[in-house]
Amino acid sequence: MLALLTRSALSGVLIALTATVARRYPGFGALIASLPLISVLGMILLWHDRPDTENMAAHASATFWYVLPSLPMFLLIPALLRQGVGFWLSLGAGCLLTIALYTVITLIGPRFGLTL
């Protein structure tokens, strides 16, 4: 239980730090947000819990393929905001797009040999 609380606190600190920096420096906050900090931290913790090279390789590979369908969200949201669409609606549309693209990659990926 202590490990879960520690991991949660560390993740929360990273999110709070990113939001705090982004308030003053949006570009730098975006840089921090774009860093794969959570992915790297997750891999470190996974390796600590289960030091298995094949499992880690599968995890890292699947992470790559799941990052790709999330990227269009970061193009759609600013486009909608600049067109006058409200924040929550833009965010919701971006999330729905990401869910749709995750579904597509999950269904189509195995046809191309992707194990996700």
For residues 70 and 60, give the distance between their C-alpha atoms in angstroms, rounded to a whole number: 16
Q: Mind listing the pLDDT tens digit for each residue in 54-84?
A: 999 999 999 999 999 999 999 999 999 999 9
Q: Which residues contact 104 (CB under 8 A, 6 or more apart)?
A: 69
Q: Mind listing the pLDDT tens digit for each residue in 23-57?
A: 999 999 999 888 898 889 889 989 999 999 999 99
Question: How many H helices and E strands in the chain?
Answer: 6, 0
| Token pair for 46 | 């996974």
For residues 67 and 91, give the distance between their C-alpha atoms in angstroms, rounded to a whole number: 17
Decide: 69 and 104 in contact? Cβ < 8 Å.
yes
For residues 116 and 109, give the distance between their C-alpha atoms in angstroms, rounded to a whole number: 8
Check whether 115 has a pLDDT greater than 90: no
